[in-house]
Amino acid sequence: MTANSDREEILRTWDLFRQYGEVLELRIPKAGRYKTVSGYFNDAGKLADGVIGLADEPFAGIYFTVNLRGIIQRICRRRS
């Protein structure tokens, strides 16, 4: 697969699972030197860029959950 076909597949998956206003929580356990990589995304392009950016790291799988839009505000409040 190429980066373009990977990107298209990621964007297709985004459209399949996420509804407007929802946020995807991404987790990649044991992502090479990074340990567990995680993040919250409400932008499909940024999600795809993040996953493709880890293409050279060894990992067994990518997991995501769909969250309500308020999750980002709650996380920001917790960190401040």
The pLDDT tens digits of the residues spanning 52-78 come to: 888 888 888 889 989 877 766 666 666
Q: Structural domain of residue 9, as residue ranges? A: 3-79
User: Beta-carbon neighbour count of residue 1 at 10 Å?
Assistant: 9
Its pTM stands at: 0.73
Closest CA to 50 of 73, 74, 34, 66: 34
User: What are the tens digits of pLDDT across the range 20-61?
Assistant: 888 899 999 988 777 888 898 989 999 999 888 888 888 888
The number of domains in the chain is: 1
